[in-house]
Every structure is written in structure tokens, then in C-alpha cells.
Amino acid sequence: MFHPFHLAEQMNDEYSTVAALLHDVVEDTDYTFDDLQKMGFPNEVLDALKLLTHEDTVPYMDYVAMIKPNSIAKAVKLADLGHNSDITRLDTVDEWAMKRQQKYLDAIKFLEE
């Protein structure tokens, strides 16, 4: 529940802050991009959110590569990856957690290049 707030605290402007707060909404709720547009969110935020919403049919690193050129999406994703790769948040660190962490660290490295 606090994950979006943690990301938003790391953002430097209004659009990236809003995108951080909403970054999982379309993936995790019944809200759609049309709903968010009708609520009045600006296109800059909606464009970033579309990039941040990972479609199951898109390979993970292809998804990350699409994010890279958009400064809002990139800032939010870097914060998201940093938070999600922090294994100190886990009760159990198993092989799955280590593989997940490595995937996220690889994505961070790619986005920061």
C-alpha cells in the first residue's frame, strides 16, 4: 500500500509524482487509461503510465527498453526497481527472490546507461 508513496517521494516534479502514485493502477485495478483520461490526468502522465504498464505478451527487457526514452516513466521505473529490488523488505530470501533481484538490477543498469 505504501509502495506508490515511497516512489512519489523520490520524484522531482508534479507529473512524475502523479505517475509514481498511479503506476500500478491499470495493472492492479479495474481502472483503465480512458478512466484516468476522463478524470483529467494530463497526456504526459498518461503516456508514462502506458509505458509503465507491462503487458504480459511483451518480454521484460523489451518493456524496459520502451520506458527508457520517456523521462517521466524512466524516473518512476528506476524508483520502482530500486524499491522492489531491496531484499531487506522480504521475510524470506530464496532463489526466486535472488533471481528477481538480479532481473531488476539488470533493468536498472540498462536504464542508467
- Residue 30, Cβ density class (10 Å: 0-12 exposed, 13-18 middle, ≥19 buried): exposed
Could you confirm whether 9 is annotated as catalytic? no
The DSSP code sequence of 92-108 is: ---HHHHHHHHHHHHHH
Write down the catalytic residue from 9, 13, 14, 27. 27
Write down the catalytic residue from 28, 55, 95, 113. 28
For residue 106, which amino acid is it? D
Plot region of 90 (φ>0 → left; ψ -120 to 50 → alpha; else → beta) = beta
Could you confirm whether 34 is annotated as catalytic? no
Residues forming the active site:
27-28
